[in-house]
């Protein structure tokens, strides 16, 4: 029994050391990348940030910094791609959104989005104030407050407090519903990624998934498209202005 306890302590100690070493290595790599960026060695910064993403997984901060480094190198398509990925993880970050707009201004294609119903725009704007985890946490807090209001309504002896509990309970119930909808939508966008960035300098969008299809329009690197379907080595894409066509999968990078 004593040997088992000692073995557990050793394993726990080794796990703690392993985690600590990993965290230290990550912090050191981030610091090195920041120094390289400050010294305008953007190529090295890009290499370090790409390495961090491969070894430590996705991070809005790393994607944002990587996008900045690509932007400084005047590589607009990779810059837009990484800003979009950062925004996907942290949709409420104003700095990411601002830099993304700057990068988009350097792309050739100026796509005018189809006008949305104002309630749809308002819904998206509110939803993009937070990520899936933030909305989930908001939903949990509001649900706890809703339960508190129910307790106040059912167990209070004063009519005034019962009314407060009733109306506040309705408000928190609505907030719980919307917070869960927003969290679900953000999670779906994160898991089922259906948007992509054009990486080819120029690509001709076809009417069908083959090179012999009719030429519809030309896109340039940095343009954002939505993927509707996939057939072999071709993707059916839709533009923000509603135009639809087919293009080779190799010419785009999924966000």
Q: What does the pLDDT look like over 142-161, one tens digit per residue?
A: 999 999 999 999 998 899 99
Does 9 have pLDDT greater than 60?
no
Does 180 have pLDDT greater than 60?
yes
Do 208 and 214 touch, CB atoms closer than 8 A? yes
Residue 153 shares a structural domain with residue 203: no
- What's the pLDDT band for 10 if we cut at 50, 70, 90? low
* Average pLDDT of the segment spanning 124-129: 89
Examine residue 113 and state whether it is found in any structural domain, yes or no. no
Cα-based distances in Å from 83 to 62, 122, 166: 10, 22, 44
* Average pLDDT of the segment spanning 174-180: 97
More confident residue, 120 or 1: 120
Do 65 and 55 touch, CB atoms closer than 8 A? no
Domain count within the chain: 3
* Average pLDDT of the segment spanning 15-21: 46
Residue 160 shares a structural domain with residue 215: no
Residue 12 structural domain: 2-105
Sheet holding 252-254, edge to edge: 215-220, 202-206, 244-248, 234-238, 224-231, 195-198, 252-254
Q: For position 122, what pLDDT does the model report?
A: 85
Residues 48-89 pLDDT 10s: 999 999 998 899 999 999 999 999 999 999 999 999 999 999
Q: For position 11, what pLDDT does the model report?
A: 53
Judged on CB neighbours under 10 Å (0-12, 13-18, 19+), 40 is exposed
pLDDT above 90 covers a percentage of the chain that reads 73
- Helix 60-72 vs helix 42-56: angle between axes, to the nearest 10 degrees? 160
Residue 226, φ and ψ in degrees, nearest 5 = -105, 135
Residue 230 shares a structural domain with residue 141: no
Residue 215, φ and ψ in degrees, nearest 5 = -70, 125
Residue 15 shares a structural domain with residue 97: yes
CATH number for the domain harbouring residue 98 = 1.25.40.10
Residue 60 shares a structural domain with residue 91: yes
Do 200 and 208 touch, CB atoms closer than 8 A? no
Examine residue 110 and state whether it is found in any structural domain, yes or no. no
Q: Count CB neighbours of 3 within 10 A.
A: 7
Judged on CB neighbours under 10 Å (0-12, 13-18, 19+), 239 is buried
């Amino acid at each position: 029994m004593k040997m088992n306890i000692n073995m557990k302590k050793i394993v726990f100690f080794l796990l703690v050391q392993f985690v600590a070493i990993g965290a230290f290595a990550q912090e050191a790599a981030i610091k090195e990348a920041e120094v390289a960026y400050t010294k305008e060695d953007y190529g090295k910064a890009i290499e370090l940030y790409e390495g961090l993403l491969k070894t430590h997984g996705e991070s809005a901060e790393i994607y944002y910094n990587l996008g900045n480094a690509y932007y400084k190198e005047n590589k607009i398509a990779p810059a837009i791609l990484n800003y979009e990925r950062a925004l996907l993880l942290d949709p409420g970050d104003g700095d990411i959104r601002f830099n993304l707009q700057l990068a988009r201004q350097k792309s050739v294609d100026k796509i005018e989005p189809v006008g949305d119903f104002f309630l749809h725009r308002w819904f998206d704007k509110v939803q993009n104030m937070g990520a899936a985890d933030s909305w989930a946490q908001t939903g949990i807090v509001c649900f706890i407050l809703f339960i508190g209001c129910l307790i106040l309504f059912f167990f209070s002896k004063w009519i005034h407090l019962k009314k407060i509990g009733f109306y506040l309970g309705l408000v928190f119930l609505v907030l719980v519903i919307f917070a869960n909808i927003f969290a679900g939508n953000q999670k779906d966008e994160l898991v089922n990624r259906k948007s992509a960035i054009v990486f080819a300098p120029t690509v001709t969008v076809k009417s069908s998934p083959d090179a012999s299809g009719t030429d519809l329009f030309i896109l340039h690197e940095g343009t954002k498209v939505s993927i509707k379907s996939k057939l072999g080595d071709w993707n059916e894409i839709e533009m923000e202005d509603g135009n639809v066509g087919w293009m080779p999968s190799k010419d785009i990078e999924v966000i």
